[in-house]
Structure formats: structure tokens, C-alpha cells
């Protein structure tokens, strides 16, 4: 009886321990991944800013993503970081597309 209970307790401890370790490792992996996403978003923002193409909310999104990361809400943080990165890329592309002055056709020069 005693042997059985020791075996059962050991098994329980092992299951719980390994479960917690797995969760912790998964958290670390997610945190690292989200951190990378945020860094990539910030790079994209900086690239857009370098050509005066940064959008209004990109920086705010990155800031919010960092806060969510701290709170451990990895899914929301990753989603926001991806959105910010997309804005950064689009802002850069937009500025590049506007590199040359294009006068509107409705202005008539005589």
C-alpha cells in the first residue's frame, strides 16, 4: 500500500512538474517570438520614417504590443506587431510611390 502511494505521488509530481516546465518553455518561446515580431515592426516603422512615410498609429501599435508582451498576452501582442509591421511596409511603399512630384491633371497650365 505504502509503495503504491509513493509511486502514485512520484508520478503525480512528475506529471505536474513536466507540465509546468513545458508551459514555461512554451512561454519563453512565445515571448521570444513576439519580441522578434515587435523588433521587425519597429524596423519597418523606422524604414518608413526614413522617407517621411510613417503613419500615425504605427508607433502607438508597437508601444501597445510591448505592453501586451509584458502582460503575457502573446497572441494579442503578436497580432498587433504584425499589423504595425504591415503599416511600416505600406508607409514605405507609399512614400516610394510618391518619390516624384505628380501634379494633378485638373490644374491647367496655360
Partner 1 sequence: MKQLFRQLTAMVISCCFITAAQATTPEEDLKAFQNFYKKRFPNVETTDYINGAYSIDPVGRENWEAIEEFPPYEPFIDEGQAIWEKPFANGKTFKDCFPDGPALGGKYPRWEKEKSMVMTLPLALNNCLEANGEKPMKYKKGPINDILSYIAFESRGQITNVEIPTDDPGALAAYESGKKFYYTRRGQLNFACAHCHLQNAGMILRTEILSPALGHTTHFPVYRSKWGTVGTLHRRFTGCNKQVRAKPFKAHGEEYRNLEYFLTYMSNGLPLNGPGARK
Interface positions with partner 1 (CB under 8 A): 49, 52-59, 87, 90, 94-95, 97-98, 101-104, 106-110
Nearer to partner 1, 5 or 52 (CB): 52
DSSP-based three-state secondary structure for 104: coil
Minimum CB separation of residue 98 from partner 1 in Å reads 5
Nearer to partner 1, 78 or 87 (CB): 87
Nearer to partner 1, 30 or 82 (CB): 82
Minimum CB separation of residue 105 from partner 1 in Å reads 10
Minimum CB separation of residue 8 from partner 1 in Å reads 60
Q: Residue 96: exposed, middle, or buried by beta-carbon count in 10 A (0-12, 13-18, 19+)?
A: exposed
Per-residue exposure over 12-28, b if at least 16 CB sit within 10 Å of its own CB, e if not: eeeeeeeeeeeeeeeee
Amino acid at each position: 500500500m505504502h509503495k503504491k502511494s509513493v509511486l502514485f505521488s512520484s508520478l503525480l509530481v512528475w506529471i505536474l512538474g513536466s507540465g509546468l516546465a513545458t508551459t514555461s518553455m512554451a512561454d519563453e518561446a512565445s515571448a521570444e517570438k513576439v519580441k522578434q515580431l515587435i523588433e521587425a515592426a519597429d524596423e519597418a516603422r523606422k524604414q518608413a520614417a526614413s522617407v517621411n512615410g510613417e503613419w500615425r498609429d504605427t508607433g502607438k501599435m508597437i508601444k501597445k504590443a510591448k505592453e501586451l508582451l509584458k502582460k503575457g498576452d502573446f497572441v494579442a501582442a503578436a497580432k498587433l506587431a504584425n499589423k504595425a509591421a504591415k503599416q511600416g511596409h505600406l508607409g514605405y511603399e507609399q512614400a516610394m510611390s510618391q518619390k516624384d512630384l505628380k501634379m494633378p491633371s485638373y490644374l491647367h497650365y496655360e
